[in-house]
């Protein structure tokens, strides 16, 4: 599909624009923008006026949703998908094998198996919602939080959407039958579904309604809604309204997956008939997991594309570059070709003893504690070339702040990056990243790099002061 004229480059009408100049506000294609270098930092510049060029963003929903669906449905056959499939099917096969025999002993392993399945299902949805090709596997460190609760949530939501149909069928059951005992003890479903229920159009209509309701109940449960919240029919309707035409596509895909899942169950029964000890059960479990894993990825894709309309994440998280991974055609000269190489370190510095390194580091620490900025910067500049230097994140942060104040922005960038990398879980990391983004954007004119850092802060350190500051700085481009 051709791009509209409003998004095309004025100088090259056949090319789609991927940048906009801050100064002349001209739309730019890869031929009209260039990469420039300031110190060791690269940024985009307009080829016409030389102003800073910002990357144009668009909402993920502007891309072809059906093409994304094809990739989501292929997940069980990809490398990460097959690894997850093999691991989970093995766990389920072991637990179901333990559940064979006395009914009293079946409860615990089958409950654990239920938890393993639903925990993995919800993890796949959340991983696909982040756009991860290889989502994180649950660690099952807490049996209640990581197993029993997800299993109960998934079971209640799945059964809950069919409760109207089940209630109608039980209402039509023969008076001699005790519906509660039939369901709890485990009698065949045909015993409960009387001929009157099978011939009742309302029962079938409620069952069809439950089937169409099911994907949205799963979606709401994956978003963290409570069981009652996930089963709220108005919230399901709100999801359908938010997706618009894509909702019909999603339900069509689930109809197809339901047919595939039924066929896979029949194939699994055939595999079990071979009775090749444990392998038959393992392969049967893997066969029945293919459709659910594909369904989980489809739901994750829905959150990845339409999550802001569903209230999952703010809109800024769903903006992506118009030209994806395109880069300017004009790039700066390589550092080694365009700039003189730094002189090699003197042999005396290269052969410093451990005692001399410790002495210099102690002097540097004293300078930081005394807030002696000139000496701290001088010593940091000399010490940073030493391998495995034991400088704390707080010291890196101090140098980064001091260098920014002194106008030594390349040194400030290097120190702030080191402060964030040295201990990413410490409170100093988000503070260092905020300062790094401000230096890049406000001092070095690299607005693109600054926005990338702000977006990383929002993703990596939500619910922090740094994230709140970044939220105020990041504005989706038009």
Closest CA relative to residue 461, chosen from 438, 439, 436, 429: 429
Least confident of 44-48, 237-241, 356-360, 472-476: 472-476
Closest CA relative to residue 115, chosen from 87, 84, 90, 148: 148
Q: In terms of CATH, what superfamily is 345-473?
A: Tetratricopeptide repeat domain (1.25.40.10)
Over the stretch 241-278, which tens digit does the pLDDT of each residue have? 999 999 999 999 999 999 999 999 999 989 888 877 78
Answer yes or no: is pLDDT of 137 > 80.
no
Least confident of 110-124, 131-145, 345-359: 345-359
CA dihedral 394, 395, 399, 405 (to 10 degrees): 40
Over the stretch 30-50, which tens digit does the pLDDT of each residue have? 989 988 765 445 678 888 887
Q: Where are the beta strands (DSSP E) in 33-92?
A: 33-38, 41-46, 53-55, 57-59
Answer yes or no: is pLDDT of 416 > 50.
yes
C-alpha distances out from residue 342 to 306, 384, 385, 407, Å: 50, 14, 12, 21
Closest CA relative to residue 109, chosen from 149, 147, 137: 147
d(CA 2, CA 9): 13
Q: Model confidence at 373, in pLDDT bands (50, 70, 90)?
A: confident
Q: Give the rounded distance of the alpha carbon of 331 from its chain centre.
A: 31
Answer yes or no: is pLDDT of 155 > 90.
yes
Average pLDDT, the chain: 81
* pLDDT of 344: 45
- Domain chopping of the chain, boundaries: 1-56+322-342, 65-318, 345-473
| Contact (Cβ atoms closer than 8 angstroms) between residue 209 and residue 293 | no
Q: Model confidence at 177, in pLDDT bands (50, 70, 90)?
A: low
| Contact (Cβ atoms closer than 8 angstroms) between residue 320 and residue 56 | no
Over the stretch 110-126, which tens digit does the pLDDT of each residue have? 888 888 999 999 999 99
Whether the predicted model's global pTM rises above the 0.85 cut? no
Q: What is the arithmetic mean of pLDDT over 224-240? A: 93
Residues belonging to the chain: 478
Among residues of the chain, what percentage have pLDDT more than 70? 82
Beta pairing partners, 34: 45, 330
């Amino acid at each position: 599909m051709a791009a509209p004229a409003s998004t095309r480059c004025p100088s090259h009408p056949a090319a789609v624009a991927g940048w906009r100049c801050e100064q002349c506000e001209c739309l730019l294609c890869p031929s009209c923008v260039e990469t420039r270098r300031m110190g060791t930092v690269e940024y985009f510049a307009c080829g016409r006026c030389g102003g800073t060029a910002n990357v144009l963003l668009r909402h993920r929903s502007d891309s072809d949703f059906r093409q994304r669906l094809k990739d989501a449905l292929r997940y069980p056959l990809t490398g990460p998908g097959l690894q997850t499939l093999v691991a989970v099917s093995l766990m389920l096969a072991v637990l179901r094998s333990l559940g064979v025999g006395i009914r009293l002993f079946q409860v615990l392993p089958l409950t654990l198996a239920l938890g393993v399945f639903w925990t993995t299902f919800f993890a796949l949805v959340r991983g696909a919602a982040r756009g991860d090709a290889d989502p994180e596997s649950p660690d099952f460190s807490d049996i209640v939080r990581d197993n029993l609760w997800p299993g109960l949530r998934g079971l209640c939501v799945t059964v809950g959407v069919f409760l109207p149909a089940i209630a109608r069928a039980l209402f039509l059951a023969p008076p001699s039958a005790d519906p509660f005992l039939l369901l709890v003890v485990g009698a065949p479903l045909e015993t409960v579904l009387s001929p009157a229920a099978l011939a009742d159009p309302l029962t079938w209509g409620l069952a069809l309604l439950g089937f169409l309701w099911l994907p949205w109940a799963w979606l709401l449960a994956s978003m963290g809604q409570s069981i009652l919240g996930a089963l709220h029919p108005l919230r399901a309707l709100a999801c359908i309204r938010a997706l618009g035409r894509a909702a019909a596509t999603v339900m069509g895909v689930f109809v197809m997956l339901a047919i595939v899942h039924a066929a896979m169950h029949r194939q699994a029964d055939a595999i079990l008939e071979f009775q090749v000890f444990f392998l038959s059960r393992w392969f049967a479990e893997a066969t029945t997991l293919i459709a659910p894993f594909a369904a989980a990825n489809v739901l994750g894709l829905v959150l990845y594309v339409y999550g802001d309309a569903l209230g999952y994440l703010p809109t800024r998280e769903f903006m992506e570059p118009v030209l994806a991974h395109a880069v300017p055609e004009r790039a700066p000269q390589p550092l080694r070709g365009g700039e003189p190489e730094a002189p090699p370190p003197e042999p005396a510095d290269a052969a410093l003893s451990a005692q001399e390194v410790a002495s210099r580091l102690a002097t540097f620490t004293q300078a930081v504690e005394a807030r002696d900025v000139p000496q701290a910067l001088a010593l940091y500049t000399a010490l940073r070339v030493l391998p495995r230097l034991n400088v704390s994140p707080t010291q890196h942060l101090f140098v980064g702040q001091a260098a920014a104040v002194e106008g030594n922005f390349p040194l400030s960038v290097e120190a702030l990056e080191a402060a964030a990398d040295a201990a990413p879980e410490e409170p100093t990391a988000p503070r260092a990243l905020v300062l790094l983004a401000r230096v890049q954007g406000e001092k070095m004119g690299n607005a693109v790099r600054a926005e990338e850092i702000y977006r990383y802060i929002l993703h990596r350190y939500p619910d922090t002061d740094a994230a709140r500051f970044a939220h105020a700085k990041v504005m989706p481009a038009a």
